């Protein structure tokens, strides 16, 4: 029994010493989106979110988790922002967060990864595959990704001829080493 406990402890300590959790720099990070409405692009962003990134001793990304506060959505039109909080869209009373959790990360090339993750919006969890780029600076990691989702996969908004289904998402996250 002592050998088992000792083995578990050794594995835990070696894993812990070979990984580092960075610290998010929120004022340099952003979660932006774009969607067509009446044929015109509507730009928006979320003001409150948190990202936890984990890197191994070589500086390779090995895990990332994010939580976005849905009530922090901003599109530049206060009445539209308020409407997006309702049950038809984000239903913030029941679903206050968008959650992003890594399933798998594969390094495609130096500093470029293909990330498989669960994205949960409005209680609907969907596996997505997205590209991630990690730029290594002296004191920071800059994580960026551009990808698209279908809002209907997450029951955000009703079927509409005027509102596009495709949401283009652009994420920039700065992590202090």
Tokens describing residue 159: 């079927």
> Residue 21: what pLDDT?
79
Domain ranges of the chain: 20-176
58, 21 contact by CB (below 8 A):
no
Q: Which residues contact 114 (CB under 8 A, 6 or more apart)?
A: 105, 106, 108, 129, 130, 131, 132
CA distance 33 to 17: 37
| C-alpha Rg value of the chain to the nearest Å | 19
Give the domain 20-176 fold: Lipocalin (2.40.128)
Per-residue pLDDT tens over the stretch 111-126: 999 999 999 999 999 9
Mean pLDDT calculated for residue range 68-92: 98
Mean pLDDT of all residues belonging to the chain = 92
Per-residue pLDDT tens over the stretch 31-46: 999 999 999 999 999 9
Residue 9 binned pLDDT confidence (cut-offs 50, 70, 90)? very low
Query: Is the confidence at residue 128, as pLDDT, over 80?
Result: yes
> Residue 3: what pLDDT?
52
């Amino acid at each position: 029994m002592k050998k088992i406990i000792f083995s578990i402890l050794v594995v835990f300590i070696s894993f812990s010493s070979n990984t580092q959790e960075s610290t998010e720099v929120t004022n340099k990070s952003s979660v932006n989106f774009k969607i067509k409405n009446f044929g015109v692009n509507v730009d928006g962003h979320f003001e409150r979110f948190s990202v936890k990134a984990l890197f191994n001793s070589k500086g390779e990304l090995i895990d990332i988790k994010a939580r976005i506060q849905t009530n922090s959505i901003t599109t530049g039109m206060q009445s539209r922002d308020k409407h997006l909080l309702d049950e038809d869209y984000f239903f913030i009373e029941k679903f206050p967060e968008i959650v992003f959790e890594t399933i798998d990360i594969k390094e495609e090339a130096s500093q470029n990864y293909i990330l498989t993750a669960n994205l949960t919006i409005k209680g609907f969890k969907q596996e997505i595959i997205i590209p991630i780029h990690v730029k290594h600076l002296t004191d920071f990691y800059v994580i960026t990704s551009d990808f698209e989702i279908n809002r209907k996969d997450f029951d955000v908004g009703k079927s509409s001829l005027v509102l596009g289904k495709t949401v283009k998402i652009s994420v920039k996250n700065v992590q202090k080493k």
